[in-house]
Amino acid sequence: MNKKLLIIFSALFFMTTQAQEIYNDKSMVVSRDDLKNSKYQKDTTANAFYIYEKGFSRVENGNKYNLLTDYERKIKILNPNGYNEATIEILLYKDKNRKEKIRKILAYTYNLKNNKIIRTKVKESDIYREQYDEHYTLVKFTFPDIKPGSVITYSYQKESPYIFKFNGWDFQDDIPKLYSEYISDLPGNYIYNIKLVGFLTLDTNESTLIKRCLEIANGASADCSHNVYIMKDIPAFEEEKYMTAKKNYFSRINYELKEYNGFDGKNKKYTETWKDVDKKFKSEKGIGLQLKKINSTKNILPDSILTTPNTLEKAKNIHSFISNTYTWNGKYKIFSDVTIKEVIDNKVGNVSGINILLHNTLKQQGFDVSPILVSTRENGYATKIYPIISDFNYIIIQLSLDGKKYLLDATEKLLPFGEVPYRCLNQYGRLMDFKKGSYWVDIKSSMKSFHYYNEDLKLSKENNSVTGKLEYVYSGHHGYTKRKRIQRTSQNAYLKKIKNLNDEIEVVDATLKNITKIEKPFIENFLIKKEYEETDNLLFINPFLNPFFKENPFKLSKRTYPVDFGYKDSYTYIVSIEIPENFEFLDIPENLNYQLPESTGKLSLGFQKQGNKLLINHRIIFTSSYYPPEFYDALKEFFNLIVDMENNTVITIKKTN
């Protein structure tokens, strides 16, 4: 084929390929291309995707000035794994007096048969309504005649009396989207806080004024802010390890009603300042009033603690006494009815009950303590722009002593003094100071968390086996995790599981240290034996018998949200291999050093030969616990190196006679 023809052929092939990717992302009309095309080039792993979607929210004169939202969606099904997108579930909220309504449901399945577009309607009889729970009704339907290549469309209108809960819009979903548009007409007498959440940017963000969009009978009216938000080529939100709540990063528009100015001149504020919240919080039934019941803890401490001076040691003893005497029932519900008396009497309580008891006991003894409201990692970030008390679902305590501050939580018996559970490591919390006013504080781990592995291996000259003394040390959160596993089962069950983890390694003996000494690192000691096959007088030994990472936790092609480990971490692996006289080391790997950008992580692997011994030093250090999305590619490569290093490093040993 000559060069000119090759160029023409390549151009035609490119044009044909591009033509196969044309979808009608401008409207709900299902085109022939929508049905013929079978790929989504921007994400070849997608099982289905949104071709088009649109939402429109507004308040109209009719319908008792309720909030109306029109929804339109068009979805392409690419393969059987995308069939679950053909089942639609819509939740409608209700209370004792009011409820949300749904109307105008239209849903169709489109297929291409004999080059003709066939449309199948979802029948009204196939739309089900059922009680979901006390506050929600579930509306559910499934599209008929679904097959690879189908396109489904559906639209409906939701009417809501809860104007203070303006719907907002989720631009991102578990499947990709070609085009997503949201329009909101906000009457000027409804003042909202508007927030774009997530790391994706809008392609269109426009606002214009509509005069007299809302009128009432006496001639009064309000202008509207007409807002248009458009986002295109939206990647699917894929969950991965080391992230906090999905809603922290899911790209969406949030609305929170701040203030309402009635046509009759009356004004009502829905969103308050922190100064207002602080004032009300003092008398709040679930937490505020209970924090004042200091004297109820006067007689709960033993004399061995009561008679000591107010030192750090006494604070530690009080914390230990509360966490070991009173049991957390696993419930949060921090704003539900809680009484310290019930916790003291029953020796059981929820998060606020246990930690308010800790707060009151320390304060009754003269310590400087304050409660901190926290939103856990699974609950999402608390809003900082304006106070939303319902964002918080947890409470911890801050102790100030001798110029230092300690974060305390008595719900976990296996956590040492000055540390809070991993679930609380969600960046920040709100310290409630009733004298000076509340303020934001950082929530960080105080413990030094690390893995430290030391393996002393000896090669036997008779049977090509390696015997070894292994010591694995787990500090901080890693030690807590190990102790928690023992607590859930037993020490014997824990040891049995360890011995059976690797079929190639015989564990001759195993012991555990510092099981109950939570202030110290948790230690595992092993005596092991491992057989190696000899090939042409050569033995091939992987020195890392228990790799820190057997696979890379980061597998996404692109991650649009940060990596949040929760705490800084480090890993150290020291190996000593001793060989007999009639053996020698061959092909020792080269030393390696690697750093993450801005020195936020370090990786090293070093080899040093000392006579008949080979010393190996491997270290991984994370100097940060939080990595923005732009660090993702570097982190992914960092872990690729770690996995390859720990699982594929081979020491070659030659038998000389």
Q: What is the pLDDT of residue 213?
A: 83
What are the beta bridge partners of residue 535? 538
Type and span of the H or E element at 114: none
Residue 377 has pLDDT above 50, yes or no: yes
Q: Is the pLDDT of residue 13 over 70?
A: no
- Percentage of the chain beyond pLDDT 90 is 70
Task: Give dist(CA 373, CA 360) in Å, integer.
Answer: 16
pLDDT in tens, 529-579: 999 888 888 999 999 999 999 999 999 988 889 999 999 999 999 999 999
* Cβ–Cβ < 8 Å for 252, 245: no
Amino acid occupying residue 263: F
* pLDDT beyond 70 at 11: no
How high is the pLDDT of residue 18? 46
pLDDT value of position 584: 93
Q: Which of 225, 247, 361 is nearest to 300 (CA)?
A: 361
d(CA 597, CA 432): 37
Of 652 and 259, more confident: 652
19 pLDDT higher than 50: no
Do the beta carbons of residue 165 and residue 270 sit within 8 Å?
Answer: no
Give the pLDDT mean for 191-198.
86
pLDDT at position 319 over 90: yes
Q: What stretch of H or E contains 35?
A: helix 32-36
* Mean pLDDT, the chain, whole residue set: 90
Instruction: Read off the amino acid at residue 519.
Output: E
What is the bridge-based pairing of β-strands 327-328 and 348-349?
parallel
Q: What is the pLDDT of residues 114-153, one digit of tens each?
A: 999 999 999 999 999 999 888 899 999 999 999 999 999 9
Residue 246 CA, chain-centre distance (Å), reads 5
Alpha-carbon span 63 to 322, nearest angstrom: 55
Tokens representing 464?
């090509």
pLDDT of residue 536: 86
Separation of alpha carbons 471 and 491, rounded Å? 17
Q: Partners of 440 in the beta sheet?
A: 430
- The torsion region of residue 599 among left (phi > 0), alpha (psi -120 to 50) and beta comes to left
Give the residue with greater pLDDT, 171 vs 501.
Answer: 171
For residue 334, give the nearest of 303, 293, 290 by alpha carbon. 290
Contact between 344 and 295 under an 8 Å Cβ cutoff? The reply is: no
Q: pLDDT digits over 56-113, tens only?
A: 998 876 556 788 999 999 999 999 999 999 999 999 998 888 999 999 999 999 999 9
Residue 591 CA to residue 18 CA, distance in Å, equals 48
**Are the CB atoms for 355 and 397 separated by under 8 Å?**
yes
- pLDDT tens for 404-442 read 999 999 999 999 999 999 999 999 999 999 889 999 999
- Cβ atoms < 10 Å from Cβ of 26: 10
**Structure-block tokens of residue 461:** 């000259």
Lowest mean pLDDT among 57-71, 159-173, 302-316, 456-470: 57-71
Question: Contact 191/259 with Cβ under 8 angstroms?
Answer: yes
Tens-digit pLDDT profile for residues 282-305: 877 778 889 989 999 988 999 999
pLDDT of 214: 79
124, two tokens: 């009204």
pLDDT of residue 462: 79
- The answer to whether residues 419 and 407 touch, using CB atoms and an 8 Å cutoff, is yes
> How is the beta sheet containing 538-541 ordered, strand by strand?
538-541, 651-655, 583-586
Q: Which helix (DSSP H) or strand (DSSP E) does residue 33 occupy?
A: helix 32-36
260-280: pLDDT as tens digits: 887 777 887 777 788 888 888
Backbone phi and psi for residue 157, each to the nearest 5 degrees, phi listed first: -120, 130
pLDDT one-digit tens code per residue, 592-641: 999 999 999 999 999 999 999 999 999 999 999 999 999 999 999 999 99
d(CA 497, CA 479): 17
Domains recognised in the chain with CATH numbers: 11-268 (2.60.40.3140), 274-443 (3.10.620.30), 449-655 (2.60.120.1130)
* Dihedral of alpha carbons 278, 284, 286, 287, sign: positive
Query: What pLDDT does 215 receive?
Result: 77
pLDDT: which is higher, 441 or 500: 441
Q: Model confidence at 14, in pLDDT bands (50, 70, 90)?
A: very low
Q: Say yes or no to pLDDT of 459 above 60.
A: yes
Q: Which pair of tokens denotes residue 294?
A: 């200091």
CA atoms of 637 and 603, how far apart (whole Å): 11
